[in-house]
Amino acid sequence: MTALQIRDLSVRLGGRAVLAGLSLDLPPASLVAVVGPNGAGKTSLLRALVGLVPAAGTIAAAGQDLARLSARERARRIAYLPQGHEVHWPLPARDIVALGRFPHGAADPDRLSDADRLAVADAMRLTETEHLADRPVTALSGGERARVALARVFASGAAIILADEPTAALDPRHQLDVMAALQARARAGALVVAVTHDLGLAARYADAVAALQGGRVARFGPPGEALAPDLLRDVFGIEAYVGAHQGAPVLVPWA
């Protein structure tokens, strides 16, 4: 079963090909890490999947061509967490999370249905942000804002979650918290696609890794295969220490 099917996806930005005929079949109930050097096309891939950049090729969710869906219908199926967590209005964190219900018709955070309120509460529980509910989001720390932004995505109830560098600029504890929350969402049935530069987090948490190079898929498979020594050398130009701790893989770029 395929949750997201990508065929011959190509994107040109500024006259340059940033994705070149990329194809992937991504299963449900899995956390897929997208890795690659700078300029490999990772962010462009996510932006193409949500229709933020013009793209050639086909993208199907559960067998349905996304190009045939309205923006609202697409937003119900795919939730997108972009890089950064900037918010310029001092809204309560609960209201920010409630924005995730907008594709379902919830235009006013003060007038949510019972289903909307339950989705918001569940999202805040999963991201451990319940204690932040009434605080202005502009007064939160970077790690707290990151978890509130993630809760907004979870509140959408989308079967596909795209997260662009969700652990960037977070301290180690919050990096682990965010990756654990994404993994839990995948275990609950969602397809989670997370762009990351942290190969160690990809090796530990991902069910599969898509390594991009030059706008194409250099390798796709379980972390042990996709992050094999030859791939690390050829794509990233590095060697790494690979081991295990408490039954989980450990990967540390070394030289």
Q: List the domains of the chain with CATH numbers.
A: 1-62+198-255 (3.40.50.300)
Phi/psi at 170 (nearest 5 deg)? -95, 155
In the predicted structure, residue 189 carries a pLDDT above the cut 90: yes
The pLDDT > 90 percentage for the chain reads 82
H-helix or E-strand containing 7? strand 4-13
What phi-psi label fits residue 105: left (phi over 0), alpha (psi between -120 and 50 degrees) or beta? left
Give yes or no for a contact between 164 and 81, defined as CB atoms under 8 angstroms apart: yes
**Confidence label for 1 from pLDDT (cuts 50, 70 and 90):** confident
In the predicted structure, residue 181 carries a pLDDT above the cut 80: yes
Residue 242: per-residue pLDDT = 93
Render pLDDT for 42-60 as a digit per residue (tens, 0 to 9): 999 999 999 999 999 999 9
In the predicted structure, residue 17 carries a pLDDT above the cut 80: yes
In the predicted structure, residue 85 carries a pLDDT above the cut 80: no
In the predicted structure, residue 169 carries a pLDDT above the cut 80: no
Q: Which two tokens stand for residue 93?
A: 């964190």
Render pLDDT for 190-244 as a digit per residue (tens, 0 to 9): 999 999 999 999 999 999 999 999 999 999 999 999 999 999 999 999 999 999 9
Q: What is the DSSP string of 88-105?
A: -S--BHHHHHHGGGGGGT
Q: Which two tokens stand for residue 157?
A: 């109830």
Residue 142: per-residue pLDDT = 83
What is the average pLDDT across 86-111? 88
What is the average pLDDT across 112-135? 94
What is the average pLDDT across 127-142? 93
**Confidence label for 111 from pLDDT (cuts 50, 70 and 90):** confident
